[in-house]
Structure 1
Amino acid sequence: MSQPIQLVIQITTQPGRGKEQTDAYERLAPLVRAEDGCLQYDLHQVTGEPDRFVLIERWASQEALDAHDATPHMVEADAASPAFRAGPAVVVRLDAEPLA
């Protein structure tokens, strides 16, 4: 059986363009959360830094994450994000179980 997948994604927008990131997230969140296997999809702004964000994602399996990455809404979002992001997102994959 596949283990749940946990991702922490660091996003930085170009100066003054953080609202474009939050607008994109607000459009995507309902679609992503409705996907099979989505357990969590939450965007947080870094305190005091309006152009830095952390997206926390949890997926039931690698298969669910792979399907998510191939959805039309994610393909479109990935194509549009370079217009307002300062660079590629940094994706950190966490171990399934926390350390003791």
Structure 2
Amino acid sequence: MSLFVIAEFLAAPGRHDRLRTALEALIEPTLDEPGCLAYAAYVDPNDPARMVVMERWENRRALDEHRATPHLRHARQVFDRVLARPPAVRILVEAP
């Protein structure tokens, strides 16, 4: 059963360009990971400090392996410097 992840980000004042760059840098290496079915970043057109990443994974194991990748570890270091608050992450499965 595939998993869907919705991660919501809020950049600190003046840091939205750096957050967008960090999220965009995750797209290509994440899509190359085994088990990644979809990965895209979006910006709120009414508030460029608000961004969302939507992901789809084959299974929990693939998502867990993603969380240990060097590119995500690096992004977390950037997030520590540019986010106004920790990201809100939801993991969902398709309704039966």
Could you tell me which runs of 5 or more consecutive residues in structure 1 were left unpaired when the two chains were aligned: none
TM-score normalised over the length of structure 2: 0.92
Aligned-residue sequence identity (percent) comes to 32
Structure number with the higher strand fraction is 2
1:61 to 40, 59, 62: 59
In structure 2, what is the equivalent of residue 40 of structure 1?
Answer: 38
- 1:34-57 deviation line (CA, Å, top 9, x unaligned): 000111111111121010011101
Q: CA RMSD in A?
A: 1.3
Q: Which moved more, 1:88-97 or 1:42-51?
A: 88-97
In structure 2, what is the equivalent of residue 94 of structure 1?
Answer: 92
Contact 1:8–1:54, Cα closer than 8 Å, also in 2:
yes
State which structure, 1 or 2, has the greater radius of gyration over its C-alpha atoms. 1
Could you tell me which runs of 5 or more consecutive residues in structure 2 were left unpaired when the two chains were aligned: none
TM-score normalised over the length of structure 1: 0.89
Contact 2:2–2:93, Cα closer than 8 Å, also in 1:
no
Aligned residues: 96
Contact 1:16–1:50, Cα closer than 8 Å, also in 2:
no
- 1:38-94 deviation line (CA, Å, top 9, x unaligned): 111111111210100111011000000000000111112112211011111001122
2:49 to 33, 48, 51: 51
